[in-house]
Chains A and B, each alone.
Chain A
Amino acid sequence: MAEYLLAALILSGGLFTFIGSLGLVRMPDFYTRLHGPTKATTLGVGSLLIASMLHFSTRESGLSFHEVLVTLFLFITAPVSAHLLSKAALHLRLPSSVRLPRLVIETEQNDGQVNRP
């Protein structure tokens, strides 16, 4: 039973990881590409970590929970990089398939002076 669960987790982890990277390649513009990796990998890596937890907890003498930490750190750091990537993209006006919000454009043009919408 545990083995099946493990296998399923591992497989889904691998699959989500792959799909995440697939998004990186398939999506049309930078903003949409951003979604694949930052999300799919979260679950991908997450399931793999759970699998690892399960695996080592069943194998070794004691429970193994330290994989939680990887998740914890990823949850803290991954959004930061996503945010900065996105912010940089807006700053650089990378082409997007949709219109950028007026708020952003004007504020960027006015060097940080906000015009209320």
Chain B
Amino acid sequence: MSHLVIAPLLVPLLAGIALLLLGLTLSSPARRTLSLAAVWVQLLLAIELWHLTSGGVVLVYHLGNWPPPWGIVLVADRLTSWMLVLTALLALFALLDAFRGTDRAGCHFHPLFHWQLFGVNGAFLTGDLFNLFVFFEVLLSASYALLIHGGGTERVRAGLQFVVINLVGSTLFLFAAGTFYGLLGTLNLADLALKIAQIPADDQGPVRAAAFLLFTVFALKAALAPLHLWLPPAYAATSAPVAAFFAIMTKVGAYALLRIETLFFGDNAGPLSGLYDDWLLILGLISLVLGALGALAATALRQQIAHLTVASVGLVFVAFGVETRASIAAGLYYLTHSTLVTAAFFLLADPIARNRDSLADRLAPGPALAQAGLLGGLFVVIAILVVGLPPLSGFIGKLGILSAALDTGDWPWIFGVILFSSLIALLALARSGTLLFLHRRPAVMEGRDHPKPIPGYLPWPTLGLLMLALALTIGAGWMLDAAQALAGQLCDAGDYLHAVLQVDRP
């Protein structure tokens, strides 16, 4: 049993502990070095794990040496490793950005950050329903703390709502988990999948109810409409690196939905197969429209980005809802793209806001920005990525989803909504871009109020994320092939079941 599977959990956990214990004695640079080193190690581990699983092997780790379904298992397949790599990459850049001062704005940034990673990685790796709940709690409680890190009225206000909503979500999760256990008598995901496939007709009612409770919970985490309302204020209020890293949080919900959808209710999952598909599609389309409209209505840049995040999540779910291999592959590609780009956008919004003094990121004519060329250029590139204009990765992802949607009967709707929302996003970003970079406040043009460039600021983390997006564009062929293989493994689910329980699907 390769310990590599658990390494992505142990590294952040121990790093968090070390940073907590040494936090008071170590100097700030030493802390940063340690923190960064831990993230690098995670990245390497994740890449190695991808390397191991990309051939189609599913790695299973029996925690405590107890065999499944009794013990908790960690399962690493292609999807898991993919998400782990993405998380580590995102963490790397978010952390680098945090070094610009966010980590010193309050206490315990580094332990919180690493434990958040612990939670996220755990949610990706675990193969147990209740353990998934526990990891959700870990990542959520870390996120609560990170959200309000640095303090301030807005953050506290947004934080309170975020926390309460998510606590209710956790309660629903427990209701769902309890129902699953109470009817099927197990918690292991693979075992649950087997039992769901053989569920007698009389027991379907409560199981379906639990399935939809779980759906609600994951949809909430993933910010699927109409449960997306918590996201904009929360993401708009928090600090830039945290918001950037939060880009992965909605993806955890998306991951969980995808996992459950394919494992429990996949193509050959017995009477309940395809339970989520329609809902995913419909709610995805609604999120897409609402997110785009929200972006158009936004009065501040971060708010706009947050709404665009909702839209991007919606698009991912449209892809998952179509539920063909091609669509899931495209959806994952788009998910990866949107995670990186949203993060880059949040990181960019910060210097823009800081450049505009009291106006901050409000979408109103303001003073000429220092470094307007640089920031504006980055803004244009990111806008292209977000709207999905060619030739960058956003376009490719959207294209993939559109062409996969052609295989379904619903394509006119899907086409219509996706294209319409893209147009709205385009209008929204054109508006905000013009307001932020081109439209000057008259008084300022007279030169009374000279903007001060942020000393020494070069948006390296943003640039880094954009480089990744560029790599995603250039390597799109390769990425999509990998995603296709991944989707194949996911849709079949046989590998997973076999690896965990050594049984084949009946």
Q: Do chains A and B touch in the complex (CB under 8 A)?
A: no
> Which B residues fall within an 8 A CB radius of A?
none
